[in-house]
Structure 1
Amino acid sequence: KRAEILNKIGINKIEDLLLYLPKTWQDRRPGKNIENPFFQNIDVFFGEIKDGSEIYTATGLRIFKVIIENENIQIEGNIFKKHNRKFDVFSHIKRDFIPGNKIWIVGKIENDFFAPKMRIEEYYLSSDIQASKKHINRIVPIYPLTEGISQKMMREIVFNALNSKWHILNPIPYNLEIKRNLIPKEKAISKIHFPDTENELNEARRRLVYEEFFLMAIAREIKKRQTKRAQKGFTYQIKKNLLTPFKQNMGFEFTLSQKKAINDIFSDMLKPNPMARLLQGDVGSGKTVVALSACLLAAENNKQSAFMAPTAILAEQHYQTFKKFLGNLNINFELITSGISPKKKKEIIEKTEKGEIDILIGTHSLIESSVKFKALSLIIIDEQHRFGVRQRTLLKNKGRAVDMLVMTATPIPRTLFLAMYGDLDLSTLTDMPEGRKPVKTIHSSEEKAFEKAKEILYRGLKAYIVYPVIEENNNDIKSVKKEYEKIKAIFNDFPVYMLHGKMKAQEKQKIMENFCRTGPSVLVCT
């Protein structure tokens, strides 16, 4: 059963286990350093058990209350269990919590009016010699886990594995390890799980981080060379029979950085080997019209483009932008998502395969095996970090040596860009189109943010409140579904809508329409 649980988190052999790294650490030593950014805050108390008693509640919850003290302070600890009629849920706890026993308890201390209290998460008797090696009076690892396996159990498994015979491949040459002052791979693996000091943890992290970037750099260089060796087998010509009327219809001038980005993209597309370029720009900087210019160059040469967005709502937004700028041009474009009718979808797929559609906009639907292109030469991927390598490859393989433009609104420092996206050339939109209001980014508490949102709503405007996940998980991350109920109570003077990716397409569309049509309102979403 334990093997099945480990399999759920991708652990099938000892190498998988040792490379399943902690997400954070807890310093359970006396006089601990809580300033370390890698450490999760936790309280540890060591003392002598003075008293223990069991409390029954009307809800079926049972509480074991214990009083522990040392020479400085007395603390009340509580352990909570669900009542079970078949057996005593506290039987093993009663055997350990005997007055006079010395014990370590782990949890969060809360100071109330009478005395400090702790909800006990883990405890270890001072007579447990093994505990000091794995769980207490040391820096301990905290892992990302799944249901059915506890942190204590995971530490036991990893500790035992580290003390068995194992070998993990080291990709970094010895001379480079010496040059970069890196500790050996085996030591790094051991100390990333169970460091004796903060310095050991820092050295282990530095070694493993360096190795990760080292492998990424090699992979990117291999990919870049492969791209340069590939040949498109055709040549674009800038005819301007679509590009010129498109520019005239826009109603505004391209910014300087948009012009430079378009020149970079066109220069790449005119080369014999495929383009691989990242277009970076803040929300509202005009990435879509830059990408649209590339699509028109392809269409002028009787080639097709695929424009992939991570969500149906974003794909719909791009489709509306295309309609706005291409409405009176001789070009065919369509939107394909999971929300369209089977009849419409079949019609779009047939037209795409015949080459009758110049630009196909969509979500993951674009990579379905049923979607085939007659002459795909350009793929554009919006919010590229939302797609995996496999998804991007599936789309690229629908054409032969296609040009690829990926877009992101996430600002990436140049050094990080070179490390993570070294196989891509970079274009950055640095200025905003005329008339765009500046974006203000403020870091504040949730309470102040909600107060500001209320001010905006009372002025007749709208507010988005964005959360990272749909439902709660074990990572203490706030979720849309849970926070939605709280938001409704806080903003009870205004309509509050919830939107997330698991909703049906028609439901999402209806919510967006309601949000757009109503006056001041709140959208709680992922």
Structure 2
Amino acid sequence: MQDSALSSSDAAAKIHLASDLQFLSGVGPDRAKLLAKLGLRAAGDALFFFPRSYEFPSAQTRLIHLREGVPASVVGTITEIESRTSANGRTTLGILVENEDGAFRVVFYNQPFRREQLGRGMRVLVSGTPKLAGLRMQFSHPRITPLALDEAPPPGDILPMYSLTEGLKQPQLRRIIGPIADALADRVQEVLPDSLREDAGERLQMPLPAIADALRQVHTPTDKDELHAARTRLAFQELLVMQLALALRRRRLTTDLTAPPMMPTAQIDARIRNRFPFELTGDQQQTIAEVGRDMGRQFPMNRLVQGDVGSGKTVIAQYAMLLAVAHGYQAIMMAPTEILARQHYATLTKAMARSRVKVGLLTGSLSGAERQQLTAAAESGELNVIVGTQALLYGNVAAAKLGLVVIDEQHKFGVGQRARLRSGGLDPHYLVLSATPIPRTMAMTMFGDLDVSTLRDKPPGRKPVHTYLARDGWRDRWWKFVRERLDEGRQVFVVTPRVSERVADAEETETEETGPEEANAAEAAEVADGMETIAGENVSAAEGVFEELQAGPLADYRLGLLHGRMSAQEKEAVMQRFAQGRTQVLVTTTVIEVGIDIANATVMTILGAEHFGLAQLHQLRGRVSRGRVPGHVCVFTDAEGSPEENERLQVFADTADGFELAEADFRLRGPGDLMGTRQSGMPPLRIADMQRDQQVLMVARQLAQEVIDADSDLSDEAFAALKKQVLRRYGKVLELGDVA
């Protein structure tokens, strides 16, 4: 008889949501330690640890019925595993799987970690699209589901698939979580009033089950339709709680807070526009009108301006800051890194030349005396505009008359950090900028408390960027092309992935003063496993690329090195040398992803491109579209044998529009860390999927707004449980304490 977490009805009667997992039958202290790595310590944790996907064994295909190019699932036992490494370091893992009908092959390229996951004698369900290779059918990069030797689901059974950690297998988790769901589902409080659940069901055109039925069905599904309804109900509840929190925040910002009105009179508007030595695009004109309307009201503007690379977002920020200064208020502009803060400072100083507007720069690298001097100037009102990094958040800067806060690259700061600037008792207007175009569903979640303006038009004179997806034979040709451009006087970026000695580089998960987040070790190792060879070279770290280029194809040129482990002063010195042309080639990690403006840099090489999202690749490409000379970008990948990855990168090479790429990235990768969600401050979603649940999100948003319009602080007793969940999950990060 198989182990189970609850072996009898008597045991089930004793379990409760707070029960320690290690004391359940079939768990024990060793397995409990593994479960804890997944965040599972109590039975209630397991109940709300939802499957990431499902397998449908009833759809199995017999080996003799496989057709080339037709997706199928086949059960068999692994009988052979062979791993080969080529001269350039690429790995090929070949697996032979047998069943009563014969044998077929499974192949993985450049995924050596699979060798540790799979072993001879393991019974597996292989799902993918087979092709004939020689005399056998072969699956390349299929999904593999481990099955217990005695796990033979009858037709109709559905297998939930959970996220794992090393040492745990799917059958073990199913045997632990399934009985817990059966025992505890009825003890979970229903937070959705029946009328609200029925209304949502009508709009979604499916009846939504009660919470107990949904929890049981999502962990121990028996029917596809019931599973779909259960998962939809749980996703709806999760998204409704989020949208209620955002609706409460929007209400609070417009009714509970007061901001100084700053009307853009005709005289002020004309004076500001006269400072722009170019014609504004139609989108810039529209956005400036929206910003002026917002800032003229008596409650804080909360507007997000999103635009593609080179669309002119900085002009909008300059207009808003000058509008604040014209009314006698100060403006703060925050950037995610000191490099970008210094660049903004230089741009603003130049733009404010021959005016009485005084601009100051405050960063974490300033000496104590310099910081004290700037702080005093801000507090006295001597400075009109203060540019800086997160030192503004964590220091004791108190502007004398703060009227506007501009945050560049909002997703790198997060909701909680944005709220922190408001904690000084002032209610300034907020303008946040994003150079990463945002899919609509993401905008409704991460930035659901903001109004959104979009810049699609680009100023005239911008030249196109030609993008190439390199193959193995391109290496020498590309470096020859790079040398030719260097000989013409152009400058070059060489970008390496965010991995150094099997650990992600710091600057991609940090802002300048706060330090990196703790990365998930398993994820870092998995990423690093794929980093052994890129474009035929050992380039696991920026330092390695720098040394190889200096000794090899670019030996006759002046190279610089930039990465996140350098101090702010070192980074600034490197960027200054590159900006002044003293360095011809800059080898860098993605610290240059956002905002770096070097017009003479027209060529970029991206190594290990498979480790970047499409949106991030597009941001990198934007660094060579700043001047009036066409740019050239070549991306190298070691993802041989992965049609999906090559297709994704081909989309990047073929698509110049950042909004199209953002939607493609969203479809191909899901929300993931598309917008730096780990840093957004918002709790992660447990079951809702922004890609799959777009209709559910729309319904949740509609109903949330209707509920808040009717009951602005959820005071109705029918909403008591729902309100409690909203405050518990989002109260702190969205400053909803006054709603309690």
TM-score range (shorter-chain normalised) is 0.7 to 0.9
CA distance in 2 between partners of 1:66 and 1:283 (Å): 45
Distance 1:242 1:450, change over 3 A: farther
Q: By how many angstroms is 1:403 displaced?
A: 0.9
Distance 1:114 1:256, change over 3 A: closer
CA offsets 1:305-357 (integer angstroms, 9 cap, x no match): 22222222222222222122123322222222323333322322232233332
CA offsets 1:420-475 (integer angstroms, 9 cap, x no match): 644322222231122222456x6957769979965762433524547467735534
CA distance in 2 between partners of 1:376 and 1:204 (Å): 49
SS in 2 for 1:411: coil
Q: Give 1:72's match in structure 2, choosing from 94, 101, 114.
A: 101
CA distance in 2 between partners of 1:76 and 1:412 (Å): 41
Q: By how many angstroms is 1:506 displaced?
A: 2.7
**TM-score, normalization: structure 1?**
0.73
Q: By how many angstroms is 1:270 displaced?
A: 1.2
1:450-489 equivalences in 2 (<5 Å): 454=479, 457=482, 458-460=484-486, 462-463=492-493, 465=495, 467=497, 471=503, 473-475=521-523, 476-477=526-527, 485=539, 488=545
CA distance in 2 between partners of 1:326 and 1:347 (Å): 21
Q: By how many angstroms is 1:285 displaced?
A: 1.0
Identify the residue that residue 519 of structure 1 maps to in structure 2: 584
Identify the residue that residue 83 of structure 1 maps to in structure 2: none
Q: Give 1:20's match in structure 2, choosing from 31, 49, 62.
A: 49
Distance 1:346 1:165, change over 3 A: same
Identify the residue that residue 104 of structure 1 maps to in structure 2: 123
Q: By how many angstroms is 1:25 displaced?
A: 5.0
Deviates more, 1:286-295 or 1:117-126: 117-126
Identify the residue that residue 58 of structure 1 maps to in structure 2: none
**TM-score, normalization: structure 2?**
0.54
Aligned residues: 481
CA offsets 1:172-194 (integer angstroms, 9 cap, x no match): 42322431214324444444445
Q: By how many angstroms is 1:384 displaced?
A: 1.5
1:109-128 equivalences in 2 (<5 Å): 126=149, 128=150
Q: Are 1:498 and 1:525, in contact at CA under 8 Å, matched by a contact in 2?
A: no
CA offsets 1:41-61 (integer angstroms, 9 cap, x no match): 998652597x99xxxxxxxxx
Are 2:180 and 1:161 equivalent residues in the alignment? Answer: yes
List alignment gaps of at least 5 residues for structure 1. 34-40, 53-64, 78-92, 98-102
CA distance in 1 between partners of 2:429 and 2:530 (Å): 37
Identify the residue that residue 139 of structure 1 maps to in structure 2: 159
Are 2:208 and 1:183 equivalent residues in the alignment? Answer: yes
CA distance in 2 between partners of 1:419 and 1:74 (Å): 47
CA offsets 1:242-295 (integer angstroms, 9 cap, x no match): 876654443212222212211211111111111111112111111112111111
Specify the code of the residue in structure 2 equivalent to 1:485: V
Identify the residue that residue 415 of structure 2 maps to in structure 1: 389
Q: Are 1:18 and 1:162, in contact at CA under 8 Å, matched by a contact in 2?
A: yes
CA distance in 2 between partners of 1:358 and 1:148 (Å): 58
Q: Are 1:310 and 1:363, in contact at CA under 8 Å, matched by a contact in 2?
A: yes
CA offsets 1:44-82 (integer angstroms, 9 cap, x no match): 652597x99xxxxxxxxxxxx9997433335799xxxxx
1:81-480 equivalences in 2 (<5 Å): 104-105=123-124, 126=149, 128-129=150-151, 139-143=159-163, 154-166=173-185, 167-172=187-192, 173-179=196-202, 180=204, 181-184=206-209, 185-193=211-219, 195=221, 202-232=228-258, 234-236=260-262, 238=264, 247-414=273-440, 417-418=443-444, 421-438=447-464, 454=479, 457=482, 458-460=484-486, 462-463=492-493, 465=495, 467=497, 471=503, 473-475=521-523, 476-477=526-527
Specify the code of the residue in structure 2 equivalent to 1:302: G
Specify the code of the residue in structure 1 equivalent to 2:588: L
Q: RCO higher in 1 or 2 (8 Å CA, sep ≥ 6)?
A: 2
Specify the code of the residue in structure 2 equivalent to 1:260: Q
Distance 1:321 1:32, change over 3 A: farther
SS in 1 for 2:522: coil
SS in 2 for 1:371: coil
CA distance in 2 between partners of 1:375 and 1:501 (Å): 35
CA distance in 1 between partners of 2:287 and 2:326 (Å): 19
Distance 1:272 1:187, change over 3 A: same
Structure whose alpha-carbon radius of gyration is higher: 1
CA distance in 2 between partners of 1:510 and 1:125 (Å): 59
SS in 2 for 1:280: strand
Identify the residue that residue 504 of structure 1 maps to in structure 2: 567
Distance 1:218 1:151, change over 3 A: same
Deviates more, 1:162-171 or 1:306-315: 162-171
Q: Are 1:305 and 1:377, in contact at CA under 8 Å, matched by a contact in 2?
A: yes
Aligned sequence identity (%): 29
SS in 2 for 1:381: strand
Distance 1:202 1:464, change over 3 A: farther
CA distance in 1 between partners of 2:561 and 2:38 (Å): 30
SS in 2 for 1:397: helix
Q: Are 1:230 and 1:401, in contact at CA under 8 Å, matched by a contact in 2?
A: no
Specify the code of the residue in structure 1 equivalent to 2:330: Q
SS in 2 for 1:227: helix
CA offsets 1:334-381 (integer angstroms, 9 cap, x no match): 222323333322322232233332222222222115232222221112
SS in 2 for 1:405: strand
SS in 1 for 2:406: strand
Q: Are 2:406 and 2:433, in contact at CA under 8 Å, matched by a contact in 1?
A: yes
Distance 1:500 1:6, change over 3 A: farther
Are 2:76 and 1:46 equivalent residues in the alignment? Answer: yes
Q: By how many angstroms is 1:408 displaced?
A: 1.4
Distance 1:76 1:278, change over 3 A: closer
Q: Are 2:393 and 2:421, in contact at CA under 8 Å, matched by a contact in 1?
A: yes
Deviates more, 1:285-294 or 1:506-515: 506-515
Specify the code of the residue in structure 2 equivalent to 1:210: F
Q: Are 2:330 and 2:385, in contact at CA under 8 Å, matched by a contact in 1?
A: yes
Two-structure CA RMSD over aligned residues (Å): 4.8
CA distance in 1 between partners of 2:259 and 2:168 (Å): 55
Q: Are 1:227 and 1:274, in contact at CA under 8 Å, matched by a contact in 2?
A: yes
Q: Are 1:375 and 1:399, in contact at CA under 8 Å, matched by a contact in 2?
A: no
Q: Are 1:245 and 1:329, in contact at CA under 8 Å, matched by a contact in 2?
A: no
Q: Are 1:28 and 1:140, in contact at CA under 8 Å, matched by a contact in 2?
A: no
CA distance in 2 between partners of 1:66 and 1:284 (Å): 48
Distance 1:121 1:453, change over 3 A: same
Q: By how many angstroms is 1:229 displaced?
A: 0.9
CA distance in 2 between partners of 1:422 and 1:67 (Å): 50
